[in-house]
C-alpha cells in the first residue's frame, strides 16, 4: 500500500477512542519488527524517523526501507518525521516521500513556534502531507532538571488553542509529564491539564516519551484525547536484551542473522503488546 497521512489514521482513532502507535525506526530489523507486528495485529501503524535515525541510516535508506515494507503490507502505514528541526529538513523529507512530518519548534518562544510551524504546515498541506507540532517542552529523562522546572515547560491549554488555530496543524504533541528515555521512577502525568487541552483543541493529541508509562496511565491518556503514542526506548531495550541473550547463550555465534533475528522478534513482541494496549490492534480488515 502507498503511504497514508496522519489524518487518515488518526481521524478514526479520534472518533472511536483509541490511539495509533508511532514507533521509531532506525534499521531493517526495527522496520521489519514493527511491520510484521502491524500486519499480524491488523493495525494501522506510524513509522517515524528521528534526527538520530536520519544521521545513522540516512534519509534515502530510511525512506526506501519503510516504502518496501509498506508496499508488501495490507495495513495503512504512515512515514513520519519525528522532531523535525528545520524548514529545509522537513521539505527534504516530503520530497523523499514522507507522508507526514513533525516540526518541533518547542525551543522557540510561542510566536516564533507558531510562525515556523505554520510555514511548514502550509507547504506540507499543499503537498498532501500532514503535520504534527509541539507546544511545551517534552525533554529527556536524563535532563538534569527538577520536577518544578519540568512543570514550567508543560503545555498551557490556552496557548495550545491558539497554537493549533494559528498553525493549522493536524496533531499536537503535549508536554504533560512524560519524557524521552528510561524513567528513574514512575512518571506522573498531569491528566487535569490534558483534559483542559482536549476541551479547547480539536485535533488529535500526541503523547511522546511513552516507553515505561504504566498501562493504566496510557488508557487514561487515550480516554482524554491522546490518539498517537510514541515508543522508542522500549524497542531499544528489547533489541539489546535480544542480542545479549544470544551472545550469552551462544558466545561463539558469528552469524549476525542469528543474533539480530531474535532481537527483531523481541521488538516485535513489544510492538504487538503496545498495539493491543493502545486499542489500534484489530482495526484493519483482512484483504484476502
C-alpha grid cell, residue 121: 504546515
Nearest to 206 by CA among 88, 90, 101: 101
**Cell matching residue 191:** 491528566
Out of Zn ion, ligand G3H, ligand 13P, none, what residue 211 binds, judged by CB under 5 to 8 A for its kind, is ligand 13P
Q: Residue 36 or 132: which CB sits closer to ligand 13P?
A: 132
Output DSSP code: residue 152.
T
Q: Which of 24, 99, 113, 167 binds ligand G3H (CB under 6 A)?
A: 24
Residue 231 touches ligand 13P, criterion: CB under 6 A: yes
> Minimum distance from CB of 181 to ligand 13P (Å)?
6
- Which neighbouring-strand residues pair with 132? 102, 171
Among 12, 27, 51, 162, binds ligand G3H (CB under 6 A): 51
Task: Give the list of residues 6+ apart from residue 152 with CB closer than 8 angstroms, or none.
Answer: none
Cα-based distances in Å from 70 to 44, 192, 193, 241, 285: 11, 38, 36, 27, 16
**Which residue from 56, 61, 122, 59 is spatially nearest to 87, judged by alpha carbons?**
122
Cell 487541552 belongs to residue = 197
- Choose among Zn ion, ligand G3H, ligand 13P, none what residue 210 binds, the Cβ cut-off being 5 to 8 Å by kind: ligand 13P
Nearer to ligand G3H, 125 or 150 (CB): 150
Site for ligand G3H in 73-112 (CB under 6 A): 82-83
Instruction: Please state the closest distance from residue 236 (CB atom) to ligand 13P, in A.
Output: 7
In degrees and rounded to multiples of 5, residue 66 shows phi and psi of: -70, -35
- Backbone phi and psi for residue 279, each to the nearest 5 degrees, phi listed first: 85, 10
Asked if 234 touches ligand G3H (CB under 6 A), the answer is no
DSSP assignment letter at 96: H
Q: Shortest Cβ distance from residue 47 to ligand 13P (Å)?
A: 12
Count the site residues for ligand G3H by CB under 6 A: 9
In angstroms, what is the minimal distance from the CB of 171 to ligand 13P? 12
- Contacts for 205 with CB less than 8 Å, ≥ 6 apart: 171, 172, 173, 174, 194, 197, 198, 225, 226, 227, 228
Task: Please say if 104 is a catalytic residue.
Answer: no
Burial class (CB in 10 A: 0-12, 13-18, 19+), 149: exposed
Q: Please list the residues that pair with 48 across neighbouring strands.
A: 24, 80
Q: Which of residues 137-176 bind ligand G3H (CB under 6 A)?
A: none
Q: Does 43 bind ligand 13P (CB under 6 A)?
A: no
Q: Among 82, 104, 170, 232, which one carries the catalytic annotation?
A: 82
Does 232 help bind ligand 13P (rule: CB under 6 A)? yes
Q: Does the protein bind ligand G3H through residue 232 (CB under 6 A)?
A: yes
User: Interface with Zn ion by CB under 5 A: which range of 70-78, 195-203, 208-216, 265-273?
Assistant: 208-216
Which of 7, 80, 116, 180 contacts ligand G3H by CB under 6 A?
180
24 binds ligand 13P (CB under 6 A): yes
Min separation Cβ 254 and ligand 13P, Å:
31
The contact set with ligand G3H (CB under 6 A) reads 24, 50-53, 82-83, 180, 232
- Residues of this chain that bind Zn ion (CB under 5 A): 208
Catalytic residues: 82
Amino acid at each position: 500500500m502507498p503511504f497514508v497521512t496522519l489524518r487518515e489514521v488518526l481521524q478514526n482513532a479520534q472518533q472511536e477512542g483509541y490511539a495509533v502507535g508511532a514507533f521509531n525506526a532506525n534499521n531493517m530489523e526495527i522496520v521489519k519488527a514493527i511491520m510484521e507486528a502491524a500486519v499480524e495485529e491488523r493495525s494501522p501503524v506510524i513509522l517515524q524517523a528521528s534526527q538520530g535515525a536520519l544521521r545513522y541510516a540516512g534519509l534515502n535508506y530510511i525512506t526506501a526501507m519503510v516504502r518496501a515494507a509498506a508496499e508488501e503490507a495490507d495495513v495503512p502505514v504512515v512515514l513520519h518525521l519525528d522532531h523535525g528541526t528545520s524548514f529545509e529538513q522537513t521539505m527534504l523529507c516530503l520530497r523523499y516521500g514522507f507522508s507526514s512530518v513533525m516540526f518541533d519548534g518547542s525551543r522557540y518562544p510561542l510566536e516564533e513556534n507558531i510562525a515556523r510551524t505554520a510555514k511548514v504546515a502550509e507547504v506540507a498541506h499543499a503537498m498532501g502531507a500532514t503535520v504534527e507540532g509541539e507546544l511545551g517542552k517534552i525533554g529527556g529523562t536524563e535532563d538534569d532538571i527538577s520536577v518544578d522546572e519540568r512543570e514550567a515547560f508543560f503545555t498551557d491549554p490556552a496557548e495550545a488553542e491558539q497554537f493549533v488555530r494559528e498553525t493549522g496543524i493536524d496533531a499536537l504533541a503535549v508536554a504533560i509529564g512524560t519524557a524521552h528515555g528510561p524513567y528513574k521512577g514512575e512518571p506522573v502525568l498531569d491528566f487535569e491539564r490534558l483534559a483542559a487541552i482536549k476541551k479547547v483543541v480539536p485535533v488529535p493529541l500526541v503523547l511522546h516519551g511513552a516507553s515505561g508509562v504504566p498501562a493504566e496511565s496510557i488508557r487514561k491518556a487515550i480516554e482524554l484525547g491522546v490518539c498517537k503514542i510514541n515508543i522508542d526506548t522500549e524497542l531499544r531495550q528489547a533489541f539489546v536484551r535480544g542480542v545479549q541473550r544470544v551472545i550469552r547463550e551462544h558466545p561463539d555465534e558469528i552469524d549476525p542473522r542469528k543474533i539480530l533475528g531474535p532481537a527483531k522478534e523481541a521488538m516485535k513482541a513489544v510492538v504487538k503488546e503496545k498495539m493491543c494496549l493502545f486499542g489500534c490492534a484489530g482495526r484493519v480488515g483482512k484483504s484476502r
